[in-house]
């Protein structure tokens, strides 16, 4: 049989059986509430309309306590006279015993006597008002409550109904053309889409449709965007929901929603199911990762069964899932047959960043100064969302400045805003603090100019930023790098320590301004020792491992406590050595430091070109570009009818006044 016992037709939360059951329960609840209502009304009636004896009635007539009486068949209703002190006036009734003198007694006592005229409809109207109207009112209220629960939780008794959004025929408005920088990921997903469109050409060779693909990568790299592009390209039903949509406070609701989701998907196959942030329900059942949650485990077990269980019917249903925590997912979820492919959506390289910037800037007006390649080079490590934000920030800056187009300066300023925050114009540094910050930042730049493997300086500023920095030195890499040598890492450490070294040398004092520099330098040095095998003392031993690589990248020690103590000692020793190197470089270039720092105090911001020009002028180092121009101008070409004589006159030859003459 196709259906198992746990998923029979009409036994799910979305079927007619559940709707009938909910209707019956609603009717029963209405009747119960009505009976309780009538019982309460009866108690209230007894409190304000009390029965008395006929003797008490005659006594009240004689004492003049009665205002009026209503004579009914077999019953007398009595309305007593009210007093100003009474909160409410109760009424009384007694039986009519056929007293012939009663009428005369009432008239003598000047009591109003009334008797209802016989009306056939009177009793019907009273019955309708007393019984039918309250019953209908209670039913309407219960129906409205039922409707409100249905909208918020899939039905008052059907909280297990799936609330996945369904997209059909390019409903998202996004295609693969809108996704840049992730060509490999697009190719993998494009194959799956083609499989859904043309299953025969794959079946002819014996290939089977992949069950699912897991999109893995850091936040902001475009995992959800890729899923939207798949929805736009697939032209098949596309179910989209988040992992948290399965989880409720009631145990079993998540599993019920999984069953309902896959039932809908099977009825509309071929189709695609996309589960964003699948780690919300797919965490390992191991207690290490927070196992023991009955609701989440039941949901995960149901998902495993639906994807590739004994009674699986997932033919034509492809599952896409996204997460940035693949390390916490259950191993049973990751095996082939459930998620056949793991698509890595990593941080884009230089080529990818250029493509992403072009996609996000295609609708933005830009002037001729814009160089996308330079912006891409300056944003190493940025993800797609960062780059999109930079383009948008640049456009906003252009509008604020009253310009119609975005310039290169706007883009670089946007890069700085994303990295360091906006300028804090209301924070004014004191004269002494300004000098300290200036020497600190120039100290960083001076190290980069003095060391071989350092990236060139792009900008130096002492303008405070909203993210806490009082100034910063921006470096621009010469080229995209995927590996770093030991020498390059050591250069980075010395560069980070250059600011503190400049403070120490110039002012014979240190400040708190180097806290972030020390933190980053220590992190690099510690990774060199524990992860990269760049320590003579420990050698090539992996002493740390990285957890949550796509999130915080926190390193966890895999060694004994005494080894950890030795690591700390080694870090402290090496850090002291690097700091001494930084101090020596600062002392050797003290003149350069003083002049450039004073210039920075005056200008507050200088470019990398200004800095390197001043550095070479003070150090009397010739400009390589000028040397190249000079060499080009000293190159001469000799040509005659038979031969071509070419000779390049170098700088050294010019000292000897070498002259090349051309003879015909």
> Is the pLDDT at 519 greater than 70, yes or no?
yes
Q: What is the mean pLDDT of residues 551-579?
A: 90
Per-residue pLDDT band for 566 (boundaries 50, 70, 90) equals: very high
The C-alpha atoms of residue 13 and residue 23 are separated, in whole angstroms, by 13
**Does the model's pTM come out above 0.85?**
no
Report which listed range, 61-65, 459-463, 551-555, is most confident.
459-463
pLDDT greater at residue 285 or residue 452: 452
What number is the average pLDDT over the span 78-101? 69
Q: Summarize the confidence of residues 32-50 as an average pLDDT.
A: 65
Mean pLDDT, rounded, for 591-605? 93
* pLDDT for position 120: 54
Q: Is 324 exposed, middle or buried (0-12, 13-18, 19+ CB in 10 A)?
A: buried
Q: How many CB atoms lie within 10 A of CB 428?
A: 9
Q: Which of 151-160, 455-464, 518-527, 622-631 has the highest mean pLDDT?
A: 518-527
Question: How much is the pLDDT for 656?
Answer: 38
Q: Are 259 and 7 in contact (CB under 8 A)?
A: yes
Q: What is the 3-state secondary structure (H, E, C) of 187-200?
A: HHHHHHHHHHHCHH
- The residue-averaged pLDDT of 119-131 equals 63
Residue 125 has what pLDDT?
Answer: 67
pLDDT at 157: 45
Mean pLDDT of 127-140: 70
The question of whether 295 is a catalytic residue gets the answer no
Residue of 441, 490, 503, 570 marked active site: 441
Q: How confident is the model over 196-236, as pLDDT tens digits?
A: 888 888 888 888 878 888 999 988 888 888 988 888 888 78
Rg for the chain, CA atoms, rounded? 43
End-to-end CA distance of the chain: 101
Q: Which residues, other chains included, contact 147 with Cβ-Cβ below 8 Å and sequence gap of 6+?
A: none
Interhelix angle 431-450/590-603, rounded to 10 degrees, is 130
| pLDDT of 487 above 90 | yes
Percent of the chain with pLDDT over 90: 25
Q: What is the mean pLDDT of the chain?
A: 78
E strand or H helix that includes residue 545: strand 544-547
* Average pLDDT, integer, range 281-290: 72
Contact 446, 498 (CB under 8 A): yes
- Supply the pLDDT for residue 505: 95
């Amino acid at each position: 049989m196709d259906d198992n016992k746990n998923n029979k037709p009409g036994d799910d939360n979305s079927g007619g059986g559940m709707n009938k059951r909910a209707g019956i329960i609603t009717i029963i609840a209405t009747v119960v509430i009505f009976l309780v209502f009538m019982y309460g009304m009866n108690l209230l009636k007894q409190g304000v309309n009390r029965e008395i004896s006929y003797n008490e009635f005659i006594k009240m007539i004689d004492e003049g306590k009665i205002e009026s009486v209503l004579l009914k068949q077999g019953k007398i209703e009595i309305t007593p006279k009210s007093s100003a002190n009474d909160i409410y006036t109760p009424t009384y009734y007694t039986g009519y015993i056929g007293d012939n003198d009663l009428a005369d007694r009432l008239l003598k006592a000047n009591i109003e006597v009334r008797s209802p005229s016989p009306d056939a409809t009177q009793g019907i109207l009273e019955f309708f008002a007393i019984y039918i109207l309250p019953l209908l009112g209670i039913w309407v209220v219960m129906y409205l409550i039922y409707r409100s629960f249905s909208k918020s939780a899939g039905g008052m008794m059907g909280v297990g109904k799936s609330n996945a959004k369904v997209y059909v025929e390019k409903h998202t408005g996004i295609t693969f053309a809108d996704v840049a920088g992730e060509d490999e990921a697009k190719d993998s997903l494009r194959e799956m889409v083609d499989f859904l469109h043309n299953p025969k050409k794959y079946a002819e060779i014996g290939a089977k449709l992949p069950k699912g693909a897991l999109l893995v990568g850091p936040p902001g790299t475009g995992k959800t965007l890729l899923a939207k592009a798949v929805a736009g390209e697939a032209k098949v039903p596309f179910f989209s929901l988040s992992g948290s949509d399965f989880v409720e406070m009631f145990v079993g609701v998540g599993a019920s929603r999984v069953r309902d989701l896959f039932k809908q998907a099977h009825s509309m196959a071929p189709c695609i199911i996309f589960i964003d942030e699948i780690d919300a329900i797919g965490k390992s059942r191991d207690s290490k990762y927070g196992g023991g949650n009955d609701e989440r485990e039941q949901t995960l077990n149901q998902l495993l069964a639906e994807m590739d269980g004994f009674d699986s019917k997932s033919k034509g249903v492809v599952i896409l899932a996204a997460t940035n925590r693949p390390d916490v997912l259950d191993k049973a979820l990751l095996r082939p047959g459930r998620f056949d492919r793991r698509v890595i959506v990593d941080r884009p390289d230089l080529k990818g960043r250029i493509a992403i910037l072009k996609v996000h800037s295609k609708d933005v007006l830009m002037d001729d100064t814009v160089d996308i390649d330079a912006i891409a080079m300056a944003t190493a490590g940025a993800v797609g969302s960062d780059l999109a934000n930079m383009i948008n920030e640049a456009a906003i800056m252009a509008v604020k400045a009253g310009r119609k187009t975005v310039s290169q300066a706007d883009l670089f300023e946007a890069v700085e805003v994303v990295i360091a925050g906006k300028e804090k114009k209301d924070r004014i540094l004191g004269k002494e603090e300004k000098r300290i910050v200036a020497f600190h930042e120039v100290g960083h730049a001076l190290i980069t100019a003095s060391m071989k493997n350092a990236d060139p300086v792009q900008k130096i500023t002492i303008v405070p930023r909203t993210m806490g920095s009082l100034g910063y030195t921006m470096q621009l890499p010469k080229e995209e790098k995927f590996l770093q040598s030991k020498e390059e890492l050591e250069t980075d450490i010395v560069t980070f320590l250059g600011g503190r070294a400049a403070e120490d040398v110039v002012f014979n004092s240190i400040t708190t301004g180097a806290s972030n520099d020390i933190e980053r330098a220590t992190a690099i040095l510690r990774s060199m020792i524990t992860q990269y095998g760049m320590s003579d003392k420990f050698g090539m031993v992996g002493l740390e491992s990285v957890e949550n690589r796509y999130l915080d990248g926190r390193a966890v020690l895999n060694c004994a406590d005494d080894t950890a103590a030795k690591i700390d000692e080694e870090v402290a020793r090496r850090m002291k050595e690097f700091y001494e190197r930084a101090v020596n470089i600062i002392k050797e270039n003290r003149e350069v430091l003083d002049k450039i720092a004073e210039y920075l105090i005056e200008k507050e911001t200088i470019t990398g070109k200004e800095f390197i020009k001043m550095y070479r002028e003070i150090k009397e180092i010739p400009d390589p570009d000028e040397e190249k121009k000079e060499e080009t101008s000293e190159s001469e070409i000799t040509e005659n009818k038979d031969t071509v004589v070419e000779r390049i006159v170098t700088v050294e030859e010019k000292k000897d006044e070498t002259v090349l003459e051309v003879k015909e």
